[in-house]
Structure 1
Amino acid sequence: MTELPAGGLLEARDEEERAALIEAGRLLFARPCTFFTAAQALDHLPPPDGVEVALAGRSNVGKSSLMNALTGQNALARVSHTPGRTKQLNFFTIEGRLTLVDMPGYGFAKAAKSVKEDWQGLMFNFLRGRPNLRRVLLLLDARIETKPSDNAVMDLLDKAAVAFQLVLTKADDVKPTALAARQAEVEALARKHPAGHPLVLTTSSRTGRGMDELRAELAALA
């Protein structure tokens, strides 16, 4: 049996290790993923048991669609046509092996200050004080430029000393040349941040692109 590299796909030395990580991700996400609690205040947070990974992004970046595609459960995260409605932390568990934390969308006002308004208090305290939070998946729209609010959240994650990994969404709606340029731009951006993970994943919830790789990364953490 191939030993899984602890660093995920970035540390895979050959195709055998990469395939083993992909398979581990498939097996993990073949298990049921269920909602178990929500928190609007620090004293409502569940005990910090097991590995947690949080998902964050601008209010219309496609976070709910990505969660549904990732888990293969179309109704897991409600897809809203009114961005910015969720103002709480929603916790989902994969049979106790991994917890996914759906964070509120930010930046719908198209200003970095909205990050301070929407993410003050609970969000920053959760990021800074959650001992079992292994990584934040920070979603960026592949179709548009990185917004000031995205940069503000990256700075906040650096300040909170929380590792984050950039994930491009909606890649199916971008032509190959433009997508390659966007990928290179975001990879350079990740390298500028102390808390940034060097591997950027490109995904599409509609076509399933990148879901195997994303599942593999989360399986390596779990």
Structure 2
Amino acid sequence: MEARDEATRAALLEAGRLLFARPCRFVHAAQQVEGLPPTRWPEIAFAGRSNVGKSSLVNALTGTKALARVSNTPGRTRQLNFFELEVPWGGQLTLVDMPGYGYAQAPKSVKADWQGLMFDFLRGRPTLRRVILLLDARIETKPADRMAMKLFDEAAVPFQIVLTKADDAKPYWLGKRREEAEKLARSHTAGHPLVLVTSSETGEGIPEVRAEIAALAST
């Protein structure tokens, strides 16, 4: 949003507010590609390492406390969860909560299943507009994150990095983390250049993520 003029930025922020003022409801879950729902509406997927705060971000965006299940056990969610929003200017928008990856204690077979399911999903969804890739603002980028970015490149699916848990990161480190994330995004053919910084606790960056999603819902 930083490269846009102020009028466009303000309009997108308002569109994002209106979009997420509508109720968001759970509509489907799938553990295998064969169980995926038919493609119809634009889709925005959320991906990230286990315990990165993915469910918390989805709940913060939709203004709910329990739409996406927040678990204290990393790696617990192993299915694609689909949620629908009514778009104020017409149609629907689907949010897809992807299973967390990179859980160190997960068996190799589970990790392989994740990669296979994700690639099949990414490659086979023509309605998928973008993947919001969540990275923890407090720690360095992990090999599993880099693997996910490579997967998005191979599937030719655009992804945008969003840093989470910014309220728990030192300002100096947060600045370095953002610079690193921007460099990473530029190094990938599927990477979106704009990196957003968020906190589900304080609400920082939530309006900006909503605005990015609203812009995609309009295309």
| TM-score, L = length of structure 1 | 0.91
Aligned 1:48-63 pairs, distance under 5 A: 48-63=39-54
C-alpha change, 1:58 and 1:110, in structure 2 (3 Å) is: farther
1:212 and 2:212 aligned:
no
How many pairs does the alignment contain? 212
Q: Which segment drifts farther, 35-44 or 189-198? A: 35-44
Q: State the partner residue of 1:85.
A: 76
Q: Distance in 2 between matches of 1:73 and 1:34?
A: 11
Q: Distance in 1 between matches of 2:156 and 2:195?
A: 19
Whether the aligned pair in 2 keeps the contact of 1:106 and 1:118 (CA below 8 Å) is no
Whether the aligned pair in 2 keeps the contact of 1:114 and 1:149 (CA below 8 Å) is no
Q: Distance in 2 between matches of 1:169 and 1:157?
A: 20
Report how far residue 47 of structure 1 moved: 1.0
C-alpha change, 1:79 and 1:125, in structure 2 (3 Å) is: same
Whether the aligned pair in 1 keeps the contact of 2:182 and 2:193 (CA below 8 Å) is yes
Q: State the partner residue of 2:150.
A: 155
Report how far residue 121 of structure 1 moved: 2.7
Task: Tell me the C-alpha RMSD between the 2 structures.
Answer: 1.6
What are structure 1's unaligned runs of at least 5 residues? 1-8
Amino acid at match of 1:16: A
Report how far residue 123 of structure 1 moved: 1.6
Q: State the partner residue of 1:164.
A: 159
Whether the aligned pair in 1 keeps the contact of 2:102 and 2:111 (CA below 8 Å) is no
1:71-93: CA deviation from partner (whole Å, max 9, x where unpaired): 10111011100010111110000
Q: State the partner residue of 2:122.
A: 127
What are structure 2's unaligned runs of at least 5 residues? none
Q: State the partner residue of 1:26.
A: 17
C-alpha change, 1:110 and 1:175, in structure 2 (3 Å) is: farther
Q: Distance in 2 between matches of 1:196 and 1:109?
A: 26
Report how far residue 114 of structure 1 moved: 7.9
Q: Percent identical across equivalent pairs?
A: 71
1:76 and 2:67 aligned:
yes
Q: State the partner residue of 2:170.
A: 175
Whether the aligned pair in 2 keeps the contact of 1:202 and 1:209 (CA below 8 Å) is yes
Q: State the partner residue of 1:98.
A: 93
C-alpha change, 1:204 and 1:129, in structure 2 (3 Å) is: same
